[in-house]
Amino acid sequence: MTLPKGFGTGGGASSSDVSKMIGRRAENMIGIITGAFIALWVGTWAGVAVAVVYYPWAYPPPSAHFALTVLTIIEAIGYLFSVKVVTEGTDKAKTYNGLVAGVIAAIAVATIVTDSFFFG
């Protein structure tokens, strides 16, 4: 394989050369994935809140509870799988278990509090 100028020695490509050409490794993007998950949940929450406040005849509170709960579960599963796939085969896999558990627990508590006190 022909590498760009400045990469490789003697015509061969090492894994570090390939990593430098590709950019950041996906296993280092846990912060971006976590931020995207939290933003996704906030968007879901805001959408359900707007629907309940502005269209209560079309979106009654029991429907809002169900929608927010189900969408939160689906989003949490997606976040969990995203982090597990990105950290698969690395030594960072066990490092992020606490982060993932904490973020999912915080979102679950926020969902329960919202369902109990806000959309009712």
Q: Is residue 17 part of a domain?
A: no
Q: Which residue has the higher pLDDT, 116 or 90?
A: 116
Q: Total domain count for the chain?
A: 1
Nearest to 49 by CA among 20, 71, 32: 71
Among 8-12, 34-38, 83-87, which range has the highest average pLDDT? 34-38
Q: What is the pLDDT of residue 15?
A: 60
Q: Where in the sequence is the domain holding 86, given as residue range(s)?
A: 24-118
Q: Decide if 94 is inside a domain.
A: yes
Lowest pLDDT segment from 8-17, 19-28, 55-64? 8-17
Residue 15 located in a structural domain: no
Does position 23 have pLDDT exceeding 70, yes or no?
A: no
Which range (29-38, 55-64, 95-104, 109-118) has the least confidence?
Answer: 55-64
Top pLDDT among 66 and 1 is at 66
Which residue did the predictor score with more confidence, 91 or 57? Answer: 57
Residues 102, 66: Cα–Cα separation, whole Å? 23
Please give the single-letter amino acid code of residue 117.
F
Report yes or no on 43 lying in a domain. Answer: yes
